[in-house]
Amino acid sequence: MNILSIETSCDETAISIIHTNGLFPHATYTVLGNALFSQIDIHREYGGVFPAVAKREHARTLVPMLERALSEAKLLIADEQPLSHEITTQLSEILTREPGLDAALIHFLEQYAEPQIDLISVTSGPGLAPALWVGISFARALASVWNVPVVPVNHMEGHILSSIFDGSVIPDLLFPAVALLISGGHTELVLMRNWTSYELIGQTRDDAVGEAFDKVARMLGLPYPGGPEISKLAAIAREKNLPLFAQLPRPMLDSKDFDFSFSGLKTAVRYAIQNRELSEHDRASVAREFEDSVTTVLLKKTRGAIDHTGAQTLIIGGGVSANTHIRETFKNYFHKEYPMLTVYMPPRNLSTDNSIMIALAGHAHAEQALTPTQAETISANGNLSLQNT
């Protein structure tokens, strides 16, 4: 079947079309079209993501992304035909909260023939509620005009599948598996006893790790998003072996649970740098010490979770898993100390938000798809937990 997937949970507007052959998890997948617009340049001006701006940008770019994804998939066939008044009214009703999106979609639908799409998969949470709503309304609008079922999916499940997907198949996992999910909104250790079964065994008590990267970067005068910037500076400090500017704590390193806390670390950076003139080298040294602290804590907690659960597989996912130092440290450590453990990390292009992962999660839950009428019940849940997926 052909799945059209929509991701709008934060600051990426993404639409993919994936052809699937077989049932999850034993299917083969072909990415027919993959369109992504990153709003980062827009949010950079504000130093972070503002939900109202993200919502406006999603509404502005969803139709162009749909057009690009369908065109790549060779499913965009020109066929000019006016829509009936009944249909345009219905679309405007569904999209009533997304100004301008109805007109753009109606214009698009009047230009092209109905593509061969069998299922629409859309992120319903977690994320920024106003941003999520745009994607959900758009999914409902397409579902109603094409009469296609819709499946709402959990963004974090998407990150897990994104990490193990090799571009055409989902590998056979040895269970139990532990997933370390590190992103701008989440820091979680999740136990999987089987496919689509998730138990949250640890999480951050305050800031998410990506959020801490972004906030510390801001204190150091670096642009948004801060993760890649900190990573670059830290690499310079390691390469030049720069002296330590200030020692930072390793929060909750010795606590007996699998929880995290990063807000104290962020505060420690603030105290270390306040009222001081920082040289380029000082900033690089702080970035390195911060990255070292985060990596040490993530590694120890993950190791604890693996020992505790007897996991045979480790999956690392979420935007922060693009971090070179974290990737290398985990790879080297587990390769040496846990040679029987299979470790998955996403390819870099699938580590941050994308819609391929939303198609995979949609396929995993295809049997729970809702009819276009039932899809009215889908609502955005900014705090959606993996446990209820």
Tell me the closest approach of the beta carbon of residue 161 to ligand KG4, in angstroms: 13
Asked if 157 interacts with ligand KG4 (CB under 6 A), we say no
Q: Give CA–CA dist 360/362, Å, rounded.
A: 5
DSSP string, 65-91: HHHHHHHHTT---B---PPPHHHHHHH
Backbone angles phi, psi at 225, to 5 degrees: -80, 145
Asked if 353 interacts with Zn ion (CB under 5 A), we say yes
Task: State the CB neighbour count (10 A cutoff) for residue 13.
Answer: 28
For residues 120, 59, 351 and 262, what is the CA-based torsion angle, rounded to 10 degrees?
A: -120
Site for ligand KG4 in 6-25 (CB under 6 A): 10
Alpha helix (H) residue ranges in 98-154: 101-111, 129-146
Q: Give CA–CA dist 180/97, Å, rounded.
A: 35
Site for ligand KG4 in 228-247 (CB under 6 A): 228, 231
SS3 for 338? coil
Question: Binding-site residue total for Zn ion (CB under 5 A)?
Answer: 2
Asked if 33 interacts with ligand KG4 (CB under 6 A), we say no
> Is-contact 165 133, C-beta < 8 A?
no
Tell me the closest approach of the beta carbon of residue 316 to Zn ion, in angstroms: 13
Task: State the CB neighbour count (10 A cutoff) for residue 180.
Answer: 28
Asked if 135 interacts with ligand KG4 (CB under 6 A), we say no
Q: Binding string to ligand KG4 for residues 274 to 313, with x set by CB under 6 A, is what? A: ----------------------------------------
Tell me the closest approach of the beta carbon of residue 382 to ligand KG4, in angstroms: 12
Of 100-108, 166-174, 175-183, 230-238, which part binds Zn ion (CB under 5 A)? Answer: 175-183
Tell me the closest approach of the beta carbon of residue 300 to Zn ion, in angstroms: 24
Q: Which is nearer to ligand KG4, 272 or 350 (CB)?
A: 350
Tell me the closest approach of the beta carbon of residue 318 to ligand KG4, in angstroms: 5
Q: Give CA–CA dist 336/293, Å, rounded.
A: 21
Asked if 152 interacts with ligand KG4 (CB under 6 A), we say no
Q: Give CA–CA dist 90/94, Å, rounded.
A: 6
Q: Which is nearer to ligand KG4, 137 or 183 (CB)?
A: 183
Point out which residues bind ligand KG4 (CB under 6 A): 10, 183-185, 210, 213-214, 225-228, 231, 318-320, 322-323, 352-353
